[in-house]
Amino acid sequence: MDDNQTVPARVYVERTLALIKPDAIDKADEIEDIILCSGFTVLQKRKIHLTPEQCSDFYAEQYGKLFFPRLTVFMSSAPVTAYVLARDQAIAYWKSLIGPSNPIKAKETHPNCLRAKYGTSDLRNALHGSDSFLAAEKEIKFMFPNSVIEPIPTRYAAKDYLNRFVNSTLLNGLTELCKRKPADPFTWLADWLIENNPNKPKVIHAT
């Protein structure tokens, strides 16, 4: 490899939970257009009317704070739209895009953020975003119980994985396939790969 050639760092696509809250639900289509234009992929989406009990569970970490009762009443007052969004650094990028939690201050410090545009108060601030990977995992599971949370490898990471763990075995299998020319090549290759899986556990029989 050329000493001057840089090797791309491994980049993983993150997932984050985004909520369009009741006060901005009528702007959902407009906000979704902004989401897509910002490089996010929408993996899952649902519109749901949460009960006060569900809101209490979702915001359990805020329990005991003075605004907690008002928060649960507000969040259960009308439907919300929940999204699982994906892109590189999705959590930080979405938090940056929606801006500070107080829309009034956001209008001064981050006038182009979504909360400055759609929010009106600390409570009615239009949008929600996960604060961390652990929070995103928990919140996505809450809104989408059947979700599987794993980092998605991007092009360079996937290529590296294939080169290290897949390509050599697959090349051997395809070479053998060309030599044998079986009547059903797909089934033959599938059976060959199972039989020659380099990660297949080795069974040692006791003598």
pLDDT by residue for the chain (207 residues), tens digit each? 445 555 444 456 789 999 999 999 999 999 999 999 999 999 999 999 999 999 999 999 999 999 999 999 999 999 999 999 999 999 999 999 999 999 999 999 999 999 999 999 999 999 999 999 899 999 999 999 886 655 555 555 566 667 776 788 888 889 988 988 888 888 898 888 888 887 765 555 555
Residue 146 has what pLDDT? 81
128 is catalytic: yes
Domains annotated on the chain, with CATH: 12-153 (3.30.70.141), 166-195 (no CATH)
Q: Output the pLDDT for position 196.
A: 86
CA–CA gap between residue 180 and residue 188 (Å, rounded): 10
Phi then psi dihedrals of residue 79, to 5 deg = -65, 155
Q: How many CB atoms lie within 10 A of CB 120?
A: 13
Consecutive H or E run containing 15? strand 12-20
Q: Is 129 helix (H, G, I), strand (E, B) or coil?
A: strand
Say which residues have a Cβ less than 8 Å from residue 47's Cβ, sequence separation at least 6.
79, 80, 81, 82
The residue annotated as part of the active site, out of 49, 110, 128, 205, is: 128
Q: What is the pLDDT of residue 153?
A: 55
